[in-house]
Amino acid sequence: MSVYVPNEPHLVAVEAEVRKISPFAFITGSQVIGGATTKSDIDICIPIWDKDSILNEYADRPCTQSAYNSSVKVELQGYYLNFLFLHPRDFLGWYGATNICKTFPLCQHLHKYVRYTVFEMLVSLCKLTITDITVASNNLASEMKRFDKKEMKV
């Protein structure tokens, strides 16, 4: 579904594991657009309606919640997963921005803070292209398809 297909074995395994619970989940952040180190966590966008399923699945693991309760960091297979729970419009914005950054490798060579700023601007631009969104997975799937590489309309 997404432009990004993880090629690192640990990312493939993590994404497959998470997609069993949340089929629209995708990896974002430094693991995708560059700048990841051996200590980097794995940022995973999750639609808000899958939050309870994710929390229930990893309830037996130590976790750290963000101050605004919008993300949870969990350890899995020796890696730290940072689950980002996003409402549909934000989720689509992150999806589009992640695909754009992956499509244009220049983002990988930018300084961390510049990369972050560019990413946030792209999220905003992608959100502007969304005309109608409801909290329904079939609508989310069709909107996500617009941001796929073959149909990039941003």
51-82 pLDDT per residue, tens: 999 999 988 888 888 766 688 999 887 889 99
Residue 94 Cα distances to 9, 56, 138, angstroms: 23, 24, 18
Q: Are residues 94 and 134 in the same domain?
A: yes
For Cα atoms 30, 116, 127, give the angle at the middle one, nearest 5 degrees. 105
Q: Are residues 61 and 92 in the same domain?
A: no
Domain range for residue 133? 88-151
Q: Which of 48-52, 66-70, 111-115 has the lowest mean pLDDT?
A: 66-70
Q: pLDDT: is 134 or 24 the higher one?
A: 24
> Count of domains in the chain?
2
Q: Are residues 28 and 39 in the same domain?
A: yes
Cα–Cα distance for residue pair 9/153, rounded to 1 Å:
31
Question: Which two structure tokens, joined as six digits, stand for 35?
Answer: 């700048």
Q: How much is the pTM?
A: 0.81
